[in-house]
Structure formats: C-alpha cells, structure tokens
Amino acid sequence: MNARAKQKAETRERILESAGTRMKEHGIAGASVADVMGDLGLTVGGFYAHFSSKDNLIDQSLRRAMSERTQRLRSPAYPDEWQERLRRFASRYLTREHRDDPAGGCPMPSVAADAGRLGAAQSAFTDEVAVLVDVLRGDQAKRNPQARAATLATIATCVGALTLARALGKSALSNELLAAARAFVDQAVPAPPPHNPKES
C-alpha cells in the first residue's frame, strides 16, 4: 500500500470512529456528515472520497461500533455456561460507569429508536444484535431454545434499563434501577446444572 492509499485508509477509519462516537453520545441523528467531518477538521466535500452516502457511513460505523463491543464477549474471562455468561454480561453492562460513559460504551441504547426508523441503520442493527445473541449464549447452547430466549430477554432488559438509567441521570433512582435490573437478570436466568466430574 502506497503512502497516499495508507493515508486514505487511515482517514476513513477516523471518520468511522468519529461517527461511532457521535452515535453513542447523540444517536444516529447526531452523526451528521457535517458534524462528523467537522470533528476531524475535514470538509464535507472530502466525505465522498470515502463513502457513497450518509446511509453508507451509518451502516458501516454502526456495524463497527457494535462489533467492537461484541468482541469483548469472546474473552476467555467469560464462562462457558450460558447462564453464567448472561449474568456476567448484565453485571458488567448495568453499571454506573457504563451509564456515565456513553461514548465509551455500547451504542444500542442511543441508536435503537433511530435504527427502527431508518432502513440502512435497521439492517446493520438487526445483523449485529443477531451476532451478539450467538456470541453471548456461547457455542454450547446454540441449539438450546431456553438459552436463546433467556439471552434475548437479558439483552432487552440490559439495553432498556441502561436507556432509562441514562435518562434519569446520576440520581438515586437511576442507581436503584441499575441495581434492580442486575438483580432481576440474576434471578430470572436459571442456575447452570451441577458440574459432573465424569464429563471432564
């Protein structure tokens, strides 16, 4: 790759990152081409050297932002049992730190409402939520309908609770809501079966 092509690729990545951050903070409507390019000190005219349209930018930046979060769930720190995976996800997702850092967190609470109204965003959002479901429940439970239903319900609980907690700000009620949602997932997800040493 020559220097010019490398610079173009780096600029494209910076645009995607800027758009992803803006979506996390302000929703899809807050990621206008003018704002995204302005954050980087670039002109709107230069945008079309990298993307065919705003829809193309939203599609790719949303996929990237959601995929980055999902990749963290592939960590060896996540247990094999789907029940424990869901509890771990909820305990890490439903925190004050995550509530107070939209730019560094999951894009779903900020973009879900917009994605339901925008064709390009909806397709990307649907694809990435489907990937999240598969990764979160783990390989051992891919054919387990109970695991799939519990995973969907856990994701819905976490995203909905975080959305409400952010709307309530750093209030006592917001903190209480996060704690209640964590406890709800912990109680709603069934306990894993006891480990059988003979299966090891």
Q: Write the pLDDT tens digit of every residue in 35-64.
A: 999 999 998 988 998 999 999 999 999 999
pTM attached to this predicted model: 0.87
Looking at the fold, whether 143 and 97 belong to one and the same domain comes out as yes
Please state, in angstroms and rounded to a whole number, the distance separating the CA atoms of residues 72 and 46. 33
Q: Collapse the DSSP code of 138 into the 3-class scheme (helix H, G, I; strand E, B; otherwise coil) and give the result.
A: coil
> What CATH number is attached to the domain comprising 17?
1.10.10.60
Residues 13 and 96 in one domain: no
141 in any annotated domain: yes
Q: Which tens digits make up the pLDDT trace of 61-72?
A: 999 999 998 988
CA distance 182 to 89: 10
Question: What are the phi and psi torsion angles at 195 (to 5°)?
Answer: -70, 135
Instruction: Answer with the one of 18, 47, 62 that is the final residue of a domain.
Output: 62
